[in-house]
Every structure is written in structure tokens, then in C-alpha cells.
Amino acid sequence: MKEINITDIKGFRIGSAENIEAATGVTVMLCEKGACGGVDVRGGGPATRETDLLKPENMVQEINAVVLSGGSAYGLEAACGVMDFLEEKGVGFDVGVGIVPIVCGASLFDLVVGDGKVRPDKAMGRKACANAFAGAFAEGNHGAGTGASVGKYRGPATMMKSGQGASAVQIGELQVGAVSAVNALGDIFAEGRQIAGMLSPDGTTMASTSEAIKEDIARQFDIFKGNTTISCILTNGKLTKAQCTKLASIAHDGYARAIRPVHSTADGDTIFVMATGEVDVNFDALAVLATEQIEKAIVRGVEAAEPAYGLKAARDFR
């Protein structure tokens, strides 16, 4: 097994675009020839697009893009720009009177970090596609991770900056990787050690979100809702729609390893899967690899983040 760049996975183009000043952005995973798709949504507050068509019993068998964006539900508009871009290239599902690109997506909440009135739109979606064709993808404060943050149980005053990360590996001809935009209510862990999350009131050390929540067990109050970690697994492995759906479900174990607590009512945690079907693969082995890549992508997204918008980042505590 060897580590590879996420952009090395055959059959995909990956790109991102962002508005640094407004602290929001878009990341796209494109597959012009079409990829078998699946999704699993675990968080209680999702903002998603075209997830129902990914159910194994539904008609469409292949998708052309997954869009991860900031902007909360407003950011779903970016996927329309991706549709326009792909339609112009003749990429999509032939409906007889034209081509309909199949574009799925999910958005995270970053409206309190920068300018909440500026959200990913069609133009930013198109720009992310153009950057994908140009090979422009970066981790950290880019794309959907531009305004991402973590450790938000006590609100913006004690949260930390996060970002987007990616990880990929190859075994023989099989390639599998993941892209994650990390915007969790909870804290982030790497090999059992907290590397980011909720800060102490004075901002000098990290505190435990899990312990804070347990202390509030007898209280009812409106916790900060600006969260959600969104990801996409990419592989050249051969999978059915049912297997893609199951893979997305299993891969949430990667969330549980890296984020504590995870899948809260204030998170919209979502994982998509795109598989080009080029290489035969043992499904359970692929599931192990994909779960590891999700975990690593989350950690990398946090480690690559730079302090910004008045927020500290993991590198401030190294």
C-alpha cells in the first residue's frame, strides 16, 4: 500500500474555489464518465441535494459530481453552477431532449465566521469546476473548508479554525481516497490525542466538549447549530449502488474515530461515495481502507488549517 494524492485517483477531477474575505467556499468532485454513487446522512441537521436518487432502488445509476460547500442551505446553489458547467460539456444523463448532469451535494454552516451574507453561488460552483479541470485543489482554508471551524458547543467565542483535508492510498490497481470539510460541533482527535476543538474560557488550552455536554445533562438549552462535517469517498473500485450506500454507512466509523462527540442533533454529518467501477475489489477490505481515509482526511483538514477570522488553529498548540 502506498499513499497517493487525492487528485491521482483515476476518473475524477477535483477542484475548489473560495471567497477568503467572506470565509466560504466550494469543493467539487467531478466524474465525466459517471460514477456509481451512494450516501449516508447521520447528523440531525443536514443541508443536502439529490440524496434520494442515490437510494439503490431508484432509477439513476450514475452521478457526475458531488459538491461540498459552505453557506448552509444557501450554499446548495453552487451545485446549479456545476450543472451548468457540465451541461455545456455534454456531461450528464440523456433524457432524450437534452442532457441532465446528475449533481449531488451537501453544505455546512459557516455563516458566523466571515460575512454571512456572502454564500457560495452558481458562479463559485462554476469556478470550482474550472479549477478542477486545471488541477487546482488545496487543503486547509480552501474550498468548503474556508470558513470551517470545530469545538462549537459553547458558541463562537471558544471554537477553533478547521479546514478541508484529503487522504488517498493505492494497493495494486485499486485506488481509494476521501475529501472532508471539517465543521464539527465536537473536538478532533488524532491517535487518541485531542488536536483541536472547544477552547477553555481564556483561550489558552483546549477543553472537552464531551465533558461539557455531560455536565449539562439536566439542562435544556439551544446549543450552537452552526456545524456539519461533509465528505466524499472516491474510488476506482467496482461497486453496486447498494454497496456504495453501505460503504458510506461504514465509513462514518472514521468520523467517530476523529470527532468526539459526533452526529449530534446540531450536525448534518454526511458522506458520499463515488465509484468508477474499473477494478474488482473485496468489499470489506475496501470498507476498511475507506474508513481510514475518512479519518485521515478529517485530521489533515484540521492540521492544515491556518489561524484566521480571529480563530486559533491546531498549529497554535503544537
Domain count, the chain: 1
At residue 61, the pLDDT reads 92
Per-residue pLDDT band at 217 (split at 50, 70, 90): confident
pTM of the model: 0.96
Does pLDDT of 315 surpass 80?
A: yes
| Number of Cβ atoms within 10 Å of the Cβ of 97 | 6
Supply the CATH number for residue 122's domain: 3.60.70.12
Does pLDDT of 265 surpass 90?
A: no
Average pLDDT, the chain: 95
Per-residue pLDDT band at 7 (split at 50, 70, 90): very high
The pLDDT > 90 percentage for the chain reads 91
Average pLDDT over residues 118-141: 97
Gap between the Cα atoms of 99 and 44, Å rounded: 34
The phi and psi torsions of 180 (rounded to 5 degrees) equal -135, 135
Average pLDDT over residues 90-113: 95
Average pLDDT over residues 136-153: 96
Domain limits for position 273 = 2-317
At residue 66, the pLDDT reads 98
Q: Is 241 helix (H, G, I), strand (E, B) or coil?
A: helix
| Better pLDDT: 60 or 105 | 105
pLDDT digits (tens, 9 = 90+) for 218-241: 776 666 667 899 999 999 999 999
pLDDT digits (tens, 9 = 90+) for 298-310: 999 999 999 999 9
Omega prior to 261 cis, within 30 of 0: yes
Does pLDDT of 1 surpass 70?
A: yes
| Residue among 108, 117, 43, 38 nearest 76 (CA) | 108
